[in-house]
Amino acid sequence: MADSAALLVDDILPHQPMRQWVLSVPFPLRFLFASQPAVMGRVLGIVYRAIATPLTRKAGYTKATARTGAVTLIQCFGGSLNLNIHFHMLFLDGVYADNKHGTSRFRRVKAPTSDELTQLTHTVAHRVGRYLERQGLLVRDTGNSYLSADAVDTANETPMNHLLGSSITYRIAVGPQQGRKVFTLQTLPDCEDDQFAPRVGNVAGFSLHAGVAARAHERDKLERLCRYIARPAVSTKRLSMTRNGQVRYELKTPYRNGTTHVIFEPLDFISRLVSLVPKPRVNLTRFHGVFAPNSNHRAQITPTKRGKVKKPQSLDEGQTPAECRAAMTWAQRLKRVFSIDIATCGECGGDVKIIASIEDPAVIRTILAHLNKKRVLAGNNLLPDCRASPSSPMGLLV
């Protein structure tokens, strides 16, 4: 999570305004994308073009005279550990336009309105549906649309398909309660819909949100956003066990009906985790437009000049990106990844000078033994008593 966000902010995303576009798809398409990742990749290309083209036109240019780019992080999970494949796309909030001097200049565009989001969502839904129909994966009749037999692959029915379908529809996959809705815990009162009025476009099960943006100078906000969309599926801090042995998971954001927790049987919890694992060799980070690896403009836009260049270009300090990352000390990495600043004194707030990094086990044991002896003689509890790891996860019991 932290290292992926640092890579994007330091090496890929330029110092320009960025906007997050989040696209959610209907339940049948979530099953299709999970079972056939190649289709998901082609649909993602359709979605990128559907957003990039109006963005370029809104700036007053065409695809021949201007270009934009995006980085997509594909999330396979929802807040209740359900299978929910959706796209988090970090778009440039504008375009790079060519000028008469042969260089590119960034042109920012205004944030999309609610009407524009609705129209854009309709365009995405129409193009995706038309593509799936041409591929024979979607069948439409009067007022309904559903996946074809080729999409579901009924001839080769596997237990994995059952796990995917149960996870998508919030149902129990295994055990005596199979097929029922997952048990939820409601600890808050119902909330009215008008309290949740973000700028979202909803059409035929497709949901498009574009309300989060970071300005060019807000690099810290951009890195927090990258950490959020690159986070893992399960938060161990919100995971616990009840006294009767069930698994309880706290939702990051309560549902509108006041639901704050979901309860799983241990076996069903394992089935949920299995359904969240993507298929092998499926890249969950995709680069589009000027950020694409084969783009001729990538080296001119990215901060570390990544891309296709005739000669490797160095940074301001004469270091390559690999050398810059290798030159980062372990103390700097600790502060960047875990927000732990060991260079500042916790008592007075002054600077702490790092004298040495001791890695020899014999020297470490000698120093710790000396500190322990000093603590005993002084009668102060400078160090906690040593203890072994707990034999049972008592900390998880409620």
In DSSP notation, 73-91 reads EEEEE-TTS-EEEEEEEEE
pLDDT of residue 351: 81
Name residues whose C-beta falls within 8 Å of residue 397's C-beta, 6 or more positions apart in sequence.
241, 243
Show the tokens assigned to 281.
Answer: 């060799």
**Per-residue pLDDT reduced to its tens digit, 122-132:** 999 999 999 99
Answering whether pTM is above 0.95, one says: no
- Tell me the chain's radius of gyration from C-alpha atoms: 26
pLDDT of residue 248: 92
Closest CA to 95 of 72, 53, 67: 67
pLDDT of residue 398: 39
Cα 258 to Cα 10, 16, 47, 80, 236: the distances in Å are: 39, 39, 33, 14, 22
For residue 315, the number of C-alpha atoms closer than 13 Å in the C-beta half-sphere is 14
**Per-residue pLDDT reduced to its tens digit, 66-79:** 899 999 999 999 98
Tell me if residue 211 falls in helix, strand or coil: strand
Residue 233 clears pLDDT 60, i.e. is over it: yes
**Per-residue pLDDT reduced to its tens digit, 127-146:** 999 999 888 888 877 667 77
**Per-residue pLDDT reduced to its tens digit, 148-193:** 776 776 555 678 888 988 999 989 888 888 888 888 888 877 766 5
**Per-residue pLDDT reduced to its tens digit, 307-337:** 766 554 444 455 565 555 555 677 777 777 7
Name residues whose C-beta falls within 8 Å of residue 169's C-beta, 6 or more positions apart in sequence.
27
Asked if 316 and 306 touch (Cβ cutoff 8 Å), the reply is no
Which of 227-236, 285-294, 312-321, 325-334 shows the lowest mean pLDDT across its residues? 312-321
Average pLDDT over residues 52-71: 90
Number of neighbouring beta carbons within 10 Å of residue 240: 17
Query: Alpha helix locations (H) across 13-83?
Result: 27-35, 37-58
Of residues 185 and 44, which shows the higher confidence score? 44
Asked if 286 and 88 touch (Cβ cutoff 8 Å), the reply is no
Residue 247 clears pLDDT 70, i.e. is over it: yes
Average pLDDT over residues 338-366: 81
Which of 21-35, 60-74, 299-313 shows the lowest mean pLDDT across its residues? 299-313
What's the burial of 196, exposed, middle or buried (CB within 10 Å: 0-12/13-18/19+)?
exposed
Name residues whose C-beta falls within 8 Å of residue 346's C-beta, 6 or more positions apart in sequence.
none
What mean pLDDT, rounded, does the chain reach?
83
